[in-house]
Structure 1
Amino acid sequence: MAAVKATETSHLLVGGIKVEVVRKDIKNLHLGVYPPMGRVRVAVPLVISDEAVRLAVIDKLGWIKRQRAKFAEQPRQSQREMVNGESHYFLGKRYRLRMHAVDAPPRVVVRGITSLDLYVRPGATVEQRELVLLAWYRDQLKALIPPLLDEWQPILGVQASQWGVKKMKTKWGSCNTAAKRIWLNLELAKKPEMCLEYIVVHELVHLLERKHSERFTALMDSYLPNWRVCRETLNGGMLGHEVWTY
């Protein structure tokens, strides 16, 4: 008999809604609806049948539809054009973009509390302008993250061996517990600082508890009592075009 894979992913159609089913080595079923499009994902034990999953989803169908309706009502960012007056976010605050064509190295400067000045070479394309801004976001996160690690690693009694920042399509952060390596989503630069702190703590807590178990929740409650508020803020703001989950 073939060995069962550690993780298996499939899909079911329930009440006209596509449901992603992830079978893994867990004891309980976990159902979630994620922004921006209301993607439905259910993590279930390896041995559970499709029919049992279907019944569990049907039982929560009303709640699922309410969550999807809520996400549908939330504002979404328009496609970036990188032009004067366009709104961009940094640490949860909205700034108006001001473009400057200069014969000098590209850079970004925050002017007061309202303007984000982007200096690029004359003739820079939309993609090139955006790359300059993304590089700046990355630099800002790389300056903000070390103090958070210095604060929280001694509190939790853990030590990440490595951390980094990258664009992630489906998560705000990730933790390889075996390697003790943490990745943080570049989009966190646009969110309030408390959201960045929440994700840093969340990933560090995974070094104490790998799964999203009751123990994990208890640890989060103990160390960061307002983590649910942070999560709501993180997932309830202006939505981009990617599918963020946590």
Structure 2
Amino acid sequence: MNTKTPAGTEQITVSNITIDIVRKDIKNIHLAVYPPMGRVRIAAPFLVKDDAIRLFAISKLSWIRRQQRQFAGQERLPPREYKERESHYYQGKRYLLHIVEAEGWPKVILKNKTWIELYVRPGTTLEKRHALMTRWYRTQLKKQIPALIEKWEQIMDVQVNGWQVRQMKTRWGSCNPDQKKIRLNLELVKKPASCLEYIIVHEMVHLLERHHNEVFLAYMDRFLPHWRQLKAELNKLPVRHEEWGY
């Protein structure tokens, strides 16, 4: 028997695994397991009966458990303390933080392939260090996005009317097809450039097809044939202590 969460989401439990059920205008059932906690979701056509969804879930239990085991072993990043030699990521590479306490204007410098230097005044609080690093990350990501959007506008023959960088807790990106605007998660600046491009392509495909259906997947296969590998790479990279999904 299906249940409803307080938010109205449909759920089933199969072999002690809770599965979110989403009804969509699609032809086939789609199964996904999301990092980092192994949340399971099934997208099903409106007319598929509950019993059929349950049988589908049972048939995929081994695959679901295998995916959850992989996510359980994924590296977790504890909350950053912005201290000397702390690990920070930029474009998929790990850097060590070097704190330089000095009078003058605070700044962040990518020193070389090993170090990110954080210049702060003596006594700068953790919150201000975080704000400074976040501002630097945002600036770097905003430098990367326009060229990628322009590239894919020409390939897809679509137009993006606007884009934003946001700190998002549950998505790598989002798209408003009606306004032709996209939002991108600030955390993408820490991932390889190829993963950023994958998310941009994903969101721009929504300008051609708003739903994650067979048409959407066909566009993804056409424009970015290796998108599944990029998605897997993105989901295997170190994640923050919050829960992520895409």
TM-score after normalising by structure 1: 0.91
Residues 225 and 101 (structure 1 numbering): CA distance in 2 closer, same or farther, change over 3 Å? same
Measured against aligned partners, the alpha-carbon deviations of 1:8-39 in whole angstroms (never above 9, x if no partner) come to: 62222221112122223333322110111111
d(CA) in 1 for partners of 2:127, 2:44: 41
Unaligned 5+ residue runs, structure 2?
1-6
After superposing the two structures, state which structure 1 stretch, 10-19 or 77-86, moved more.
Answer: 10-19
The answer for the alignment partner of 1:121 in structure 2 is 121
After superposing the two structures, state which structure 1 stretch, 224-233 or 108-117, moved more.
Answer: 224-233
The answer for the alignment partner of 1:4 in structure 2 is none
Q: CA deviation at 1:169?
A: 1.4
SS in 1 for 2:54: helix
**Equivalent pair of 2:33/2:41 in contact (CA under 8 Å):** yes
Matches within 5 A, 1:16-165: 16-165=16-165
**Aligned-partner residue type, residue 123 of structure 1:** G
d(CA) in 2 for partners of 1:27, 1:215: 10
**Equivalent pair of 1:8/1:23 in contact (CA under 8 Å):** no
Measured against aligned partners, the alpha-carbon deviations of 1:84-110 in whole angstroms (never above 9, x if no partner) come to: 001100001110001122333321100
Q: CA deviation at 1:174?
A: 0.9
**Equivalent pair of 2:26/2:214 in contact (CA under 8 Å):** no
d(CA) in 2 for partners of 1:10, 1:69: 24
TM-score after normalising by structure 2: 0.91
SS in 2 for 1:74: coil
| Aligned Cα root-mean-square deviation (Å) | 1.8
SS in 2 for 1:211: coil
**Equivalent pair of 2:99/2:117 in contact (CA under 8 Å):** yes
**Equivalent pair of 2:34/2:244 in contact (CA under 8 Å):** yes
Unaligned 5+ residue runs, structure 1?
1-6
After superposing the two structures, state which structure 1 stretch, 117-126 or 104-113, moved more.
Answer: 117-126
**Equivalent pair of 1:100/1:119 in contact (CA under 8 Å):** yes
